[in-house]
Homo-oligomer: A and B are copies of this chain.
Amino acid sequence: MEKLPLGKLPKNVLIENVLSFSYVKDDVLLPPSYGEDGAVVRTKGNLIIAAADPITGASEEAGWLSVHVNANDIAVHAAYPKWYIVTLLFPEDTMVDDIEKVMKGIRRALNEIDGSLIGGHTEITNKVNDIIIAGTMIGEPIIPGEYITSSGAKVGDDIVLTKGAGIEGTFILATDFENELRKRIDEQIIDNAKRFREKISILPEVQIITENVDIEHIHAMHDVTEGGLIGGVFEIAYASNLSFRIYEEKVPILEPTEEICKFYHIDPLKLIGSGALLISVDSEISDEVINALNKAGIYAATIGKFEKRWDHIGVLVRKNGDEHIIDEPPIDELWRLLGLMSI
């Protein structure tokens, strides 16, 4: 097998090993093809939503993950992620197979969310030393003309969390440190932890909410990423100019997350957590939201409240009653752990 040369891909590789993985729906009028630099898509209304997030350093299933993290950034706005466009930068010594793996992951994820790959750019470059997948997702509102932001939370809103804290961190740790963990933790728990990657999309809960509740009462939504649950709530509070109060005892933590976090002495509330959705909802209908989600098989719970902004951005009430003031987004526990390990 041949290594690919630096620069844009050779024409035949681009056509046979990249463009052949294109996955487009009917609304893509000009799909990716050799010699075309742009894509043309047909929207349903006059609002579009766009977001960009790179994956740097993930390897296995990186392409798949890149679609879902970008799709989640669209879904939080009560929108369907539809059109994916991706810049792929591969380091020297990349083989055609490496590219195909990423493309397969992208196609699989787009299939799961019913989206299209509409374009991008692929290049071998000595400016990177790992695969960089810089994706941009474009979508449109589920309910025409309506969208939700991070900044709309209101005083008195309930803060609802779906699934649990630290979903993404749980499967990253279970995958990266599998051998170490299998020696100390029940095999089945590790197997479960690895399957958490199947929970990564928050599109299902967004669809359930928009179908079952008048979204006028959903004031803000945000996904849980770096900095974990606390980081996500912090961002809503900051954007909405409110303060938050969260109760540790109310936060759902799934068994694999609990076991793995205990083993590494890390706080699941500050662990990278894609897969969970934060919802700031009128407290009068939070039960309605939770019931609709539970009925569809997605666990959800109220974990706290938004208050008028006071001296601090937030308070985390620990199980023992201690109140921790929070004025800065937390450093993610995953980075802290990896930092400790590299010393």
> Could you list which residues of chain A lie within 8 angstroms of chain B, going by C-beta atoms?
7-8, 11, 29-30, 33-54, 56-57, 73-74, 76-77, 79, 83, 85-87, 89, 118-121, 123, 125-130, 132, 134, 136, 138, 147, 149-151, 222-223, 226, 234-236, 238-239, 328-329, 332, 335
Contact = CB atoms under 8 A, between A and B. Distances in A.
Given A40-B147, A132-B134, 5 more contacts: A37-B222, A40-B47, A41-B49, A48-B48, A50-B138
8 contacts: A30-B49, A30-B149, A35-B151, A36-B150, A52-B134, A87-B134, A132-B134, A136-B136
A54 B147 contact: no
Given A43-B46, A226-B8, A127 B56 contact: yes
Contact of A40 (B37, B56, B77, B121): B77
Per assembly, the copies of the chain total: 2
B138 A48 contact: yes
B77 A50 contact: no
A73 to B, nearest CB: 4
Given A39-B50, A40-B147, A87-B52, A34 B127 contact: no
B85 A51 contact: yes
B53 A121 contact: yes
A37 B50 contact: no
B46 A40 contact: no
Given A47-B42, A52-B136, A57 B127 contact: yes
A56 B134 CA distance: 13
A83 B39 contact: no
B51 A119 contact: yes
A222 B35 contact: yes
Given A85-B136, A123-B54, A149-B30, A43 B48 contact: yes
A44 to B, nearest CB: 7
A28 to B, nearest CB: 10
A74 B85 CA distance: 14
Contacts of A30: 49, 77, 147, 149
Q: Which 7 A-B pairs have the closest CB atoms?
A: A35-B239, A35-B235, A134-B134, A38-B51, A136-B136, A37-B73, A87-B134
B51 A39 contact: yes
Contacts of A46: 42-46
Contact of A53 (B40, B57, B87): B87
A127 B125 contact: no
Contact of A43 (B11, B47, B52, B226): B47
Contacts of A129: 126-129
Contacts of A51: 37-39, 85, 119
A33 B149 CA distance: 11
A39 B43 CA distance: 16
Given A7-B335, A35-B236, A127-B128, A52 B149 contact: no
A332 B6 CA distance: 12
B120 A52 contact: yes
B50 A83 contact: yes
A127 B127 contact: no
B48 A328 contact: no
